[in-house]
């Protein structure tokens, strides 16, 4: 693997790799590194490499012609990738590192000051990479991170051929805890299973520890992973974590199309479809909230039909889907009935409403592992604003891809989408 770096400060790059694993890999010629200074291509007495941006703005922009001349000096391998280190790029991940190690050559462009001319990026850069959602003084330190991370994946760079395969993130999980001598230190003991010599039990412990640590510290890494449900549930149990979620479908106070505060009717679809979604995603309780006695009576008759009446012989599984449905005359009544006194009250809305603290789906997913959450959905044209402002959090709206900005989802669709975004990928 060859690393070619365009940088105004070559000694920053060379200096970082005079010691350590990468230095040894360079010495043994398992990788190669060369830094190219754009100032060497500048023809004026000041060795100018940047200029003020058109349209004004902070900082100086590196000149495209100087960068082009520098890039053209670099001998290119058959399999080569030109990367600009930029906070606007795709975030570097373990998976991306594994992709990059398959190239014979990485050409890393280090910006400085106000960045580089966009026309150079459009003409010569294959991709932009970021090392995190923050800004540093230039691309040199991010380039060092890329070089170090990719080098570790090159065969022979690490002393132990299995090291790269068992490090944190290699399997999508954080690494399990490590212990060495002495067996007892500072009043703490090494887990007995590691001293047992039973390889199968040790491997099971390591896997469970990885999952528990990831769940506790970086639950975002579990999203989209194909985890066995018993394995996930055991990790949650070990940490005292589980999703404690109640869903409330509010029929008052909500708005009608004219902006008036009204009480809406409960529909048969509201009962069945949302109940099935809640049951599918492991929701503790589904509350249908309405102050109208005739509506409560209607829902009661529907539930009785499917749970105790003739509906059982037509669709026996429907009884199971309705098992967690409850009725309440108000949100306060539902909240008390659930019994989770410290539950966070989270409203949903397609509108932007000031008041409650906004929360995004990944944040709420993590919160819900540690605190009970009561999730409220409005019928009609949405929850009334004062009611929303009485909540603890306001979940971000569900955004689609309609170019016209159309997002008039039925409440049943919204509930299913929200539940899937929050809990559908954890198993």
Q: Range with the lowest mean pLDDT among 101-105, 202-206, 209-213?
A: 209-213
Measured N-to-C along each axis, helices 140-151 and 20-27 cross at an angle, to the nearest 10 degrees, of 70
Per-residue confidence at 181, pLDDT binned at 50, 70, 90?
very high
Residue 427 has pLDDT above 50, yes or no: no
Coil, strand or helix at 414? helix
Per-residue pLDDT reduced to its tens digit, 241-254: 667 899 999 999 99
| Start-end of H helices in 93-191 | 94-100, 118-124, 140-151, 163-166
Question: How does strand 184-185 pair with strand 188-189?
Answer: antiparallel
Backbone angles phi, psi at 51, to 5 degrees: -155, 170
Closest by Cα among 254, 283, 293, 243 to 411:
254
Closest by Cα among 170, 156, 349 to 250:
349
Residue 169 has pLDDT above 70, yes or no: no
Residue 350 has pLDDT above 80, yes or no: yes
Residue 259 has pLDDT above 90, yes or no: yes
Work out the mean pLDDT of the chain and round it to a whole number: 91
* Spatial distance between the Cα atoms of 52 and 47, rounded to a whole number of angstroms: 15
* Spatial distance between the Cα atoms of 292 and 328, rounded to a whole number of angstroms: 10
Average pLDDT estimate for 192-221? 88
Q: Range with the lowest mean pLDDT among 48-57, 284-293, 364-373?
A: 364-373
Residue 240: what pLDDT?
61
Q: Range with the lowest mean pLDDT among 169-173, 285-289, 304-308?
A: 169-173
* Spatial distance between the Cα atoms of 117 and 136, rounded to a whole number of angstroms: 18
Q: Is the dihedral of CA 303, 307, 308, 314 positive or negative?
A: positive
Question: How does strand 127-130 pair with strand 80-91?
Answer: parallel
The answer to whether the predicted template modeling score (pTM) of the entire model surpasses 0.85 is no
> Who contacts 64 (Cβ-Cβ below 8 Å, separation ≥6)?
116, 117, 119, 120, 123
Residue 200 has pLDDT above 70, yes or no: yes
Per-residue confidence at 224, pLDDT binned at 50, 70, 90?
low
* Spatial distance between the Cα atoms of 418 and 396, rounded to a whole number of angstroms: 10
Q: Range with the lowest mean pLDDT among 206-210, 334-338, 417-421?
A: 206-210
Per-residue confidence at 401, pLDDT binned at 50, 70, 90?
confident
Q: Range with the lowest mean pLDDT among 105-119, 152-166, 331-345?
A: 152-166
Average pLDDT estimate for 99-125? 96
Q: Pick the residue with more confidence: 86 or 316?
A: 86
* Spatial distance between the Cα atoms of 218 and 168, rounded to a whole number of angstroms: 11
Residue 426: what pLDDT?
47
Residue 59 has pLDDT above 90, yes or no: no
Residue 223 has pLDDT above 70, yes or no: no
Per-residue confidence at 162, pLDDT binned at 50, 70, 90?
low
Per-residue pLDDT reduced to its tens digit, 352-395: 788 899 999 988 988 888 899 999 999 999 999 999 999 999 99
Average pLDDT estimate for 107-111? 97
* Spatial distance between the Cα atoms of 375 and 118, rounded to a whole number of angstroms: 45
Residue 334 has pLDDT above 90, yes or no: yes
Q: Which of 1-5, 214-218, 239-243 has the highest mean pLDDT?
A: 1-5
């Amino acid at each position: 693997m060859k690393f070619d770096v365009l940088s105004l400060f070559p000694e920053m790059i060379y200096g970082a790799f005079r010691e350590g694993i990468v230095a040894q890999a360079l010495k043994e010629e398992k990788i190669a590194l060369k830094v190219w200074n754009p100032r060497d291509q500048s023809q004026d007495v000041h060795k100018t490499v940047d200029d003020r941006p058109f349209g004004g703005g902070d900082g100086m922009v590196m000149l495209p012609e100087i960068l082009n001349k520098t890039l053209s000096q670099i001998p290119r391998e058959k399999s080569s990738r030109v990367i600009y280190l930029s906070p606007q790029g795709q975030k570097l991940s373990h998976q991306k590192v594994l992709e990059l190690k398959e190239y014979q050559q990485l050409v890393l462009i280090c910006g400085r000051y106000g960045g580089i001319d966009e026309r150079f990026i459009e003409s010569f850069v294959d991709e932009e990479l970021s090392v995190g959602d923050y800004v540093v003084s230039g691309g040199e330190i991010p380039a060092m991170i890329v070089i170090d991370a990719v080098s570790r994946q090159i065969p022979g760079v690490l002393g132990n051929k299995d090291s790269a395969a068992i490090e944190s993130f290699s399997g999508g999980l954080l690494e399990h805890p490590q212990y060495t001598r002495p067996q007892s230190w500072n009043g703490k003991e090494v887990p007995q299973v590691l001293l047992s010599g039973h390889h199968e039990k040790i491997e099971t412990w390591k896997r469970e520890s990885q999952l528990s640590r990831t769940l506790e510290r970086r639950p975002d890494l579990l999203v989209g992973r194909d985890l066995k449900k018993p394995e996930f549930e055991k990790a949650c149990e070990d940490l005292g974590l589980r999703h404690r979620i109640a869903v409330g479908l509010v029929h008052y106070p909500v708005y009608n199309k004219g902006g008036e505060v009204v009480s809406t009717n409960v529909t048969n679809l509201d009962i069945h479809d949302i109940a099935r979604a809640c049951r599918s995603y492991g929701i503790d309780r589904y509350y249908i909230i309405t102050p109208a006695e005739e509506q409560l009576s209607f829902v009661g008759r529907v539930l009785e039909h499917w749970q105790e009446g003739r509906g059982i012989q037509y669709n026996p599984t429907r009884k199971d889907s309705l098992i967690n449905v409850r009725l309440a005359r108000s949100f306060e009544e539902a909240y008390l009935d659930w019994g989770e006194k410290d539950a966070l009250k989270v409203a949903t809305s397609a509108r932007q409403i000031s008041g409650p603290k906004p929360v995004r789906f990944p944040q709420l997913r993590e919160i819900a592992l540690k605190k009970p959450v009561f999730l409220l959905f409005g019928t009609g044209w949405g929850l009334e604003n004062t009611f929303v402002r009485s909540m603890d959090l306001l979940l971000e709206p569900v955004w689609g891809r309609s170019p016209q900005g159309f997002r008039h989802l039925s409440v049943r669709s919204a509930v299913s989408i929200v539940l899937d975004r929050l809990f559908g990928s954890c198993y």
